[in-house]
Chain A
Amino acid sequence: MRYVIRRVLYAVFVVWAAYTITWLLLFYLPGNSASMIISGAGADVDQTLLASLEARYGLDRPAYEQYFGLLWQTVTGDLGTSITLGVPVAVVVGGALPHTLALGGLALAFSVVLGLGIALLANTARATWLRNILFSLPSVFLSFPVFLTGLILIQVFAFNLHLLPAVGNDGFRALILPALTSGIPASAAIAQVTAKSLYEYTHGPQATFLTARGVGRGRIVYAHGLRNAVIPAATIIGMSVGGILAGAVITETVFSRQGLGRVLQAGVVSQDVPVVQGVVIISALLFALANLAVDLFYPRIDPRIRLGIA
């Protein structure tokens, strides 16, 4: 039970830290939302107008008042109103969230399947050359920039083969290419860690003993090795949720999709603090929840951790 409380408190801390750091960054950036609205209108900055706008959004108050005011609002569930759009942030973010959730969920599924698949194949393929290629694949994946992967996938599957739509938001088919694009780099880390621990397991003393007691190679890899190799992989899977969320900005841009990434990008450009904060807090929540899930799942895959909870 203490373990669970600890992990929950840790998740809360992560969300708070993400919120605070973003606020600090935005606060100390030159200019503010009010000046952006005015300069957006093309006029010279009228000091009285600026002052009235600042007063309206509370930007004239001292820093700590602004910070704690916003923090309290957020804690009570009020994300504020978008400065540039004039609608509640909850509506903006809420509208984008399902798209990103679908994209991120599928990307995560791709990355796990692809990552574990590569790791397993790399350790079981009969041909040495194939094993070598599979072992080096993760580093190749990692060194590819996300936008390039996206463009290549569009070129091949949309323009050449006409299999899938290149851009857009409509339906599951439009989801596949962007999900692959953000899933591939995430899968690389999973594959790398899992392949390495599987290799060490199958070449270690425990595997020798299993062989000696008549357990076949396949069972050693799937029934014993994977159970052990998944332990370090679980941490990586939790971390890759962060990577996928961060990658959403690029992926959604490349594939012209709606989603949190696009909202965030627009918010940053117009210095729409409430929107940016809203996206950050939702992303941080997602990330923290994913890692909390991993933490709570951990004792199930590694019973040595469970001992301490009792």
Chain B
Amino acid sequence: MTTPPLLQVADLSVRYSTDGDDVLALDRVSLSLERGERLAVIGESGSGKSTLTHVLLGILSRNAHVTAARGELDGVDLFGGLTETQWTELRRSRVAYIPQDPNIALNPVLQIGRQLDEALRLSPRKVEKLRRRDEAIALLERVGIADAERVYASYPHQVSGGQRQRVLIAIALVGRPRLIVADEPTSGLDVTVQKTVLDALDELVAETGVSLILVTHDLAVARQRTDRVLVLERGRVVESGATAAVTDDPRHAYTRRLLDAVPSLHEGKLAPTPGLSQVDPGHREGGLVAQGLVKTYVTRDPRRGKILTPAVGGVDLAIEPGTTYGLVGESGSGKSTIARIVAGIDRADEGSVHFRGQDVARARGADLRTLRTRIQYVFQNPYTSLNPRFRIFDVVAEPLRGFKVASGAELDRRVRDALDVVGLEPSIATRTPTELSGGQRQRVAIARSIVLRPELIVLDEPVSALDVSVQAQIMQLLIDLQHEFGAAYLFISHDLAVIRELSDRVGVLRRGELLEEGPVGEVFAQPKHEYTRRLIDSIPQFA
């Protein structure tokens, strides 16, 4: 080994100070990266993953203080007081960045071609003006964009999310960087798209010998796509080594916990925690039956006129009492629309929804109010679904008050019970949502939904905004609650493994149509539809 590593960092610490409060985001992190090597950085939110990527690109916020014993990238001393101009040069030639959200990163008012052209103009490669367009098209083709000419002439909103992310990869390639830092480049994409984007990145590494730092929360992605891995917990490296070795035989408890938390496609529905008592549900007859649901959204825009968006085209589904129906599909497949119709929030254009024999769409007045107490809804994002000005007690008590189900001591008791059941300390009742973590918030949202003892809970991607270990806890909680109280779930997710571990039946949705449907085990073992097979194949897996 005569050539030195491309990147060497020793004892890197980053501290954020705001108003006298110091937060240590990275604590003596050391790492080294060879040329052509792919390094995964994994860890949960708050572990310092993003800070690490930002430090390598010199884009930390002003209140960050960096100390390091060593930091060398391709012979350049990163922490030796580079000026902003020098950083800019470095970013144009050595280190490139692929951000998480392609919707934010591209300028919406400039054609993609112009944004690539700008990057080419700024790059030290000095591409001649008359060659720039060809060069840009070649870059787009190289990251696997088939209709490169069209994309070149398009504005960002005119191409798909996957294509936008590829455009960002193409922009990253402009300066022929030695290192690409990718911060969760596929976490916003559907699985089938994620696969193609990651494939494109893999090919680049193989062909050009560029090194890659891939920040991800998805351990399976790390396992499949990287050579070495760095596990971060609260700013500290708790484990590092060859990816296969670490994921097969984790040494550190944190890594093991992360790995155990990953839902699996191969195991059946989770078992409830042993020793839970079962409350007699008392309503075992009649579930939810939806037939021929059709929904088209009509938007009127003063500038654009009337726009019709077909969302759901003829969907039938039935949910037995006390069971979980998993609805899986990619973005835009109509999952949430169905959820909203079933919960009686939206009305279908055609078709009917009956809950225990009662027509959900036609219920009015007192009937509708009773129905609403029986069907509850949990939203995807616990950061926006809780009123930040309410105390937790009031958040959970609101349905009881709103439906005048309980008051006084009875209300008090039921709120505390609900908080207890979802595993929250009683002391949390006096706090506000902003003081809680994401996992705690989602527990509060679940507590709010079960406080009325509903017979059906519609769960719209309730775990996809959460870290894997928190996701695993919430999933176990949902299983336990179902076991205890016998509620039925309509569980919406884009994640097949999550569906597998929670559901009894599953429906696969694409463009508003249910392609196939059946017991989870059967559908996953022998998918009938080619699309289901492709979905399952696209999921990154261990081994």
Contact = CB atoms under 8 A, between A and B. Distances in A.
A305 B109 contact: no
Interface stretch (B84-92, B336-344, B389-397): B84-92
A213 B109 contact: no
B109 A301 contact: yes
Interface in B87-114: 88-93, 96-97, 99, 101, 104-111
B317 interface: no
B97 A212 contact: yes
Contact of B305 (A2, A219, A223, A228): A2
A227 B301 CA distance: 23
A302 interface: yes
A304 interface: yes
A209 B105 CA distance: 6
B304 A214 contact: no
A206 B104 contact: yes
A29 interface: no
A212 B101 CA distance: 14
Contacts of A3: 303-305
Contacts of A308: 301, 303-305, 307
Contact of A307 (B109, B175, B304): B304
Contacts of B111: 303
A209 B304 contact: no
Nearest to A7: B303
Nearest to A299: B303
B158 interface: yes
A215 B101 contact: no
B303 A214 contact: no
B524 to A, nearest CB: 38
A301 B119 CA distance: 21
B122 A215 contact: yes
A231 B93 CA distance: 33
Contacts of B88: 214-216
B172 A213 contact: yes
Contacts of A309: 304
B206 interface: no
A217 interface: yes
A6 interface: yes
Nearest to A224: B107
B107 A214 contact: no
A5 to B, nearest CB: 10
A209 B97 contact: yes
Contact of B155 (A205, A209, A301, A304): A304
A209 B99 contact: yes
A217 B59 CA distance: 12
Contacts of B59: 208, 211-212
B171 interface: yes
Contacts of A214: 88-93, 119, 122-123, 175
Nearest to A201: B107
Given A214-B92, A214-B122, A214-B175, A227 B303 contact: no
Contact of A305 (B93, B96, B123, B303): B303
A155 B171 CA distance: 57
Given A224-B110, A228-B107, A212 B99 contact: yes
Interface residues of A, number: 30
Contacts of B96: 213
B304 A228 contact: no
Contacts of A204: 104
B107 A227 contact: yes
Nearest to A305: B303
Contacts of A213: 91-92, 96-97, 119, 171-172
Q: Which of A2, A223, A308 has the most CB of B within 10 A?
A: A308
Contacts of B118: 215, 219, 223
Contact of B304 (A211, A212, A305): A305
Interface string A169-208: 0000000000000000000000000000000000011101
A3 B327 CA distance: 39
A231 B111 CA distance: 16
Nearest to A310: B304
B57 interface: yes
A307 B304 CA distance: 8
Given A212-B97, A213-B91, A307 B84 contact: no
Contact of A228 (B92, B93, B109): B109
Contact of A303 (B99, B109, B301): B109
A302 B88 CA distance: 29
Contacts of A217: 84
B105 A205 contact: yes
Contacts of B89: 214
A227 B110 CA distance: 8
Contact of B91 (A212, A298, A304, A305): A212
Contacts of B175: 214
A211 B90 CA distance: 11
Contacts of B362: none
A223 B118 CA distance: 10
A219 B93 CA distance: 18
B49 to A, nearest CB: 15
Contacts of A302: 108-109
A57 B88 CA distance: 75
Contacts of A6: 302-303, 305
B157 interface: yes
Nearest to B105: A209
A209 B301 CA distance: 31
Interface string B478-519: 000000000000000000000000000000000000000000
Interface of A: 2-3, 6, 204-206, 208-209, 211-217, 219, 223-224, 227-228, 231, 298, 301-305, 307-309
Given A209-B97, A209-B99, A214-B91, 16 more contacts: A6-B303, A6-B305, A206-B104, A206-B105, A206-B107, A211-B91, A213-B92, A214-B88, A214-B90, A216-B85, A219-B122, A227-B109, A228-B108, A301-B109, A304-B108, A305-B303
29 contacts: A3-B304, A204-B104, A205-B101, A206-B107, A208-B59, A211-B91, A212-B91, A212-B97, A213-B92, A213-B97, A214-B88, A214-B90, A214-B122, A214-B123, A215-B118, A219-B122, A224-B110, A228-B108, A228-B109, A231-B109, A298-B303, A301-B109, A303-B109, A303-B155, A303-B157, A308-B304, A308-B305, A308-B307, A309-B304
